[in-house]
Structure formats: structure tokens, C-alpha cells
């Protein structure tokens, strides 16, 4: 991947997060007050259980350090517009999905620097150099929190325009997502051929566990099936674009490093696993 193309990755992520913000409105966050238990369960699942499940799988499977760190990196990322669309398809609580995506994305400016630093120090301890939690925090603010906030402001100021153009905005965001995933795969194609079976199995295992765990925790808290479906999707679907974009920044390189590969593979596999599951649960009472 050329340096010029790599330099566009942060802009692509910022645009994707901006489109996420244009889909948010103040009323979306009323679900936090109206359904506090469902929101808290979803938040805990996303911020705590997802990294813990990924860590357990990585420790058991023992992939190479760079792959292990890459898997952890994708587990730290929030959901995205994709989880909202899949929730709609599953006939779930879209307002809850949107609120969880928005809040976790805003929180990521704090959670990602801490978790990335801890994981890097553990899995990449033989890697020369170190990373700065402060730098990652600033990057996350500029690439996620700020664009989401600007998107919400644009939605508030130019509501009619943003609503009318939402299809185009989201279509471009989806295109950027596909291009980023394929760029990461192409850059590490040889390694992908060697590691695909291993990486794929580990990621599928994680996604399946998260679906099952989130349904169990939701039912244990006596949530409705409407909210349970939503939390299971929001917990299992991560924003791989964020992980791919952060990878070269973390490693301080001018090309997409190996740690971006799990996120790229995940960007494909999440649909392979999620769509059949959603087709199964969407009409279940």
C-alpha cells in the first residue's frame, strides 16, 4: 500500500465516524433513561466482556504475538454503523444500538489508549520501541470523538439535508470500509495465506462466543428479546476500520503492519457469521 494511500486511512475513518454522527440525534439517547438496564448490560458487554473473551481465546490458541495483539486490538474497538444496520435487519431495538454505538465510540478516546498500551506491553514486549497512550488518545479524539460530534452538529443544523443525503453518506462510508479491508488484506497477502485458517478459526470462535454470551447475560438480566437481539449484535460486531487505521500509527510505520491483518479478516468474517445468526433470530419471539 503506497504512502499516499496510507495517509488517506485516517481521513476515511474520520468520514465514517462523521456519518455515524449524522445518524445520531438527542432523542436517540433517551433510550439510556427509558431502558437503563439494557443499556448498562450492553455497555458492560462491549467494554469489558469483548476484550476478556478475545484475551481468553488468544491465551488458549497462542497465535504469533503480532496476530495476538491484532486480535486484541479489534476487540478494543467500538461498534459502528454496521451494527446499527444489522440490528435493523434483525428487527431489534435500533435506538438502543445507536445509543450504545455512540456512547462506546465517544468513550473509546479513553478506553482504547489504556487497553492498547496494556496489550502492547504484554504481547509485543520484544518489539523495539514503545507506544504513547497520550498519542493514541489524541488520535482517537481527532478520528472518532471529534468527527462523531461534528456529525451530530451537522445533523442538528442541517437536519433535512442530512436526512435526504443519508443514503449517499452511508454508501460512501461502506465503500471506504470495503477499500480499507481489502487494502489491509492485499498488503499482508502472503502472511494471510499462511495464517488464514488459524486467524479465521480464532475470530469465528470469538464472534460465536460473544453472540452466545451476550444472549445469556441479557436473558439472565431478564431483558426482552427485542433488547437481547440488539445487545448480541452490538457486542459481536466491532469497527474493524478503527483497528486497521490505528495499526500503522501504533507501530510507527509507513505501511499496514501485520497487526492490521486480524481486523481485515474480521471485517469479512463478521458478516459470514452474523448474517446467518441474524436470519435465525430476527423472527424468533
Helices and strands in the chain: count of H runs, count of E runs: 16, 0
The reported pLDDT for the residue numbered 168 is 78
C-alpha cell at 164: 435526504
- CA dist 285 to 34, 149, 265, 280, Å? 22, 36, 32, 11
Using CA atoms, how far apart are residues 216 and 52, in angstroms rounded to an integer? Answer: 16
CATH code (residue 8): 1.20.1530.20
Q: Which residue in this structure is represented by grid cell 487494502?
A: 183
Q: Which residue in this structure is represented by grid cell 470469538?
A: 206
Which residue range(s) make up the domain with 60? Answer: 3-281
3-class DSSP string for 153-165: HHHHHCHHHHHHC
Q: How many domains does the chain have?
A: 1
Cα angle for residues 269, 51, 234 (degrees, 5° grid) = 55
- pTM (predicted TM-score): 0.85
- CA dist 247 to 12, 87, 91, 161, 236, Å? 14, 28, 34, 35, 21
Q: How many CB atoms lie within 10 A of CB 23?
A: 23
pLDDT per residue as tens, the chain (285 positions): 545 556 677 887 788 888 877 877 777 778 788 888 999 999 999 999 999 999 999 999 999 999 999 999 999 988 777 787 888 888 888 888 888 888 888 888 889 999 999 999 888 876 655 677 788 888 888 888 888 888 888 888 887 877 777 777 777 777 776 776 666 667 666 766 766 778 888 999 999 999 999 999 999 999 999 899 999 999 998 888 888 888 888 887 777 788 888 988 888 888 888 888 888 887 766
Using CA atoms, how far apart are residues 13 and 78, in angstroms rounded to an integer? Answer: 13
C-alpha cell at 57: 481465546
Q: Which of 1, 257, 266 is nearest to 124 (CA)?
A: 257
Amino acid at each position: 500500500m503506497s504512502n499516499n494511500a496510507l495517509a488517506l486511512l485516517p481521513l476515511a475513518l474520520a468520514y465514517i465516524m462523521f456519518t455515524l454522527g449524522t445518524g445520531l440525534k438527542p432523542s436517540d439517547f433517551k433510550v439510556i433513561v427509558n431502558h437503563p438496564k439494557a443499556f448498562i448490560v450492553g455497555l458492560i458487554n462491549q467494554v469489558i466482556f469483548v476484550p476478556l473473551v478475545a484475551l481468553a481465546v488468544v491465551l488458549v490458541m497462542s497465535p504469533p504475538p503480532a496476530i495476538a495483539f491484532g486480535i486484541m486490538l479489534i476487540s478494543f474497538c467500538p461498534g459502528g454503523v454496521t451494527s446499527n444496520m444489522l440490528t435493523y435487519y434483525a428487527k431489534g431495538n435500533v435506538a438502543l444500538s445507536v445509543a450504545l454505538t455512540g456512547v462506546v465510540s465517544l468513550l473509546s478516546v479513553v478506553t482504547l489508549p489504556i487497553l492498547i498500551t496494556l496489550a502492547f506491553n504484554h504481547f509485543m514486549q520484544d518489539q523495539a520501541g514503545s507506544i504513547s497512550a497520550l498519542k493514541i488518545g489524541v488520535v482517537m479524539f481527532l478520528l472518532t470523538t471529534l468527527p462523531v460530534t461534528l456529525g451530530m452538529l451537522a445533523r442538528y443544523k442541517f437536519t433535512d439535508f442530512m436526512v435526504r443525503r443519508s443514503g449517499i453518506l452511508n454508501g460512501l462510508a461502506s465503500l471506504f470500509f470495503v477499500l480499507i479491508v481489502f487494502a489491509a488484506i492485499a498488503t499482508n497477502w502472503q502472511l494471510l495465506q499462511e495464517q488464514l485458517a488459524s486467524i479465521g478459526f480464532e475470530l469465528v470462535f470469538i464472534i460465536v462466543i460473544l453472540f452466545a454470551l451476550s444472549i445469556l447475560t441479557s436473558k439472565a438480566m431478564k431483558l426482552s428479546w427485542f433488547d437481547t437481539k440488539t445487545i448480541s449484535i452490538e457486542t459481536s460486531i466491532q469497527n474493524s476500520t478503527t483497528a486497521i487505521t490505528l495499526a500503522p500509527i501504533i507501530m510507527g510505520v509507513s505501511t499496514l503492519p501485520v497487526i492490521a491483518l486480524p481486523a481485515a479478516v474480521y471485517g469479512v468474517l463478521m458478516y459470514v457469521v452474523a448474517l446467518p445468526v441474524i436470519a435465525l433470530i430476527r423472527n424468533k419471539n
